Amino acid sequence: GRRPWLYARPRTRSDVHSQDYGGSPELVDVTIRNGRMHNLLLDVNAFQLVEQETSLSNADFCNNHQRKIETVYYQEIETLIRQTTGAAKVVCFHHQVRNGKRGQGINSKSSTQYATDIHTDTSASAAERQFFECLDNDIPNKKDFENGRFLYLNAWRSIDDDHPIQDNYLAMCDETSLIKPDDYILYDYYEPGYAGAHYYLSSRTAQRHRWYYFPQMVKNEVILFKQYDSDPDLSGRMCFHSSFSTGQNPLNIPRQSIEVRCMVFFPHHRPNTCPSRDGPARVAVGQLFLAVQYVNEWPRMGRWWFKDLVGKGKFQELLDELVEDKNNDIGTKNASYEMKSAVKKRAMDQGFVEIAKTAAEALK
């Protein structure tokens, strides 16, 4: 059957799903252990607790002082990650403030509610795409960092000036307790300006999974947890995580936290485990061809536009528009000029014209 999906944005008429969520979630009892009692390491277990002060106040975070967060705080996190991992370069590219009391839903531009489903925030293909976006858009001397190893990492911190975290903790699964690939379930995730494949966790072997949290976290503590590591020799490469409640918060103090997503570069790592541009381009072309083959399911105006351009032989114009990907259906909306050019060349080389003609002939 069709793999699960989740929309964290309003669906549009052009979306292929008729509901915001598709899947079969299960409730499973697990034990979540105190991580402070264990030596949990980033490259072994896929997460680690570290310490670092921040110069920002709770008001800076919760009042959405974007400029201060994206300059001062990002620099603090980049320094922390370089010192912890030995990386040559760190790029912070996204952050999210969460506060259960203030949160107005997942599309809120300020603070959002807690994420209580077990998930990862990426997959191998989506992480490689993000690697190239950071490389092309945020690093002037990108050729110095396109080889070696890359790490997609989250940095998670309490932003409460006055209290330790009392409830709605972050739980993380020790990746050494998972069975690969059995436990990893791909699902399609959609949010404003983004579409990609992420992972849910299978319940089949849930009793083998080891879960941890760090109780009473204070503001000078940071959890680093992996979204994806390109080094295949490490046991900790990806961290399933979720918020959970203990039901014990007598003072009713909401958890306040910030998470920052970062791309981390190790250009001197050997062997080279970074992707070539051919990999993400290949994935994008596959998505493109799939979209064209299902043109019958497009909205009526889209079908008319497609058939008109094919009938006039304007295949390059058609391809250019599809690769611009305004709805991010094939994952190239935010891609660099170089990546879009690679996708278009590969699509033409692999028979885009004939595929488009065949699809147009089948249109009703």
DSSP 129-193: HHHHHHHHHH-TTGGGTSSSEEEEEEEEEE--SS----SSEEEEE-GGGS-TTTTEEEEEEEETT
The highest-confidence range among 107-116, 119-128, 210-219, 333-342, by mean pLDDT, is 210-219
- On the question of pLDDT at 63 being above 90, the answer is no
Query: Are the beta carbons of 47 and 38 closer than 8 angstroms?
Result: no
Pairwise pLDDT comparison (134 vs 192), residue with the higher score: 134
Q: Show me where the domains of the chain are located.
A: 5-266, 278-361
Backbone phi, psi, residue 16, to 5°: -80, -15
Mean local confidence (pLDDT), 112-138: 88
Considering only the top CATH level, what class is 5-266? mainly beta
Q: Residue 335: which H helix or E strand, with range?
A: none
- On the question of pLDDT at 108 being above 50, the answer is no
Query: Are the beta carbons of 61 and 258 closer than 8 angstroms?
Result: yes
| Confidence label for 109 from pLDDT (cuts 50, 70 and 90) | very low
Q: What is the pLDDT of residue 80?
A: 99
Ranges 29-43, 98-112, 208-222, 327-341: which has the least confidence: 98-112
Distances (CA, A) of 125 to 34, 251, 256, 331: 33, 43, 31, 10
What's the whole-number average pLDDT of the chain? 90
Report d(CA 38, CA 30) in Å as an integer. 18
- On the question of pLDDT at 104 being above 70, the answer is no
Q: 181: cis peptide before it, omega within 30°?
A: yes
Distances (CA, A) of 197 to 191, 243, 279: 12, 21, 15
pLDDT tens per residue across span 249-258: 888 899 999 9
Query: Are the beta carbons of 200 and 119 closer than 8 angstroms?
Result: yes
Pairwise pLDDT comparison (331 vs 176), residue with the higher score: 176
Give the residue from 141, 137, 239, 226 showing the smallest Cα distance to 183: 239
Alpha-carbon dihedral sign for residues 125, 126, 127, 131 = positive
Q: What is the DSSP letter of 216?
A: T
Alpha-carbon dihedral sign for residues 218, 85, 260, 141 = positive
Give the residue from 277, 325, 260, 226 showing the smallest Cα distance to 72: 260
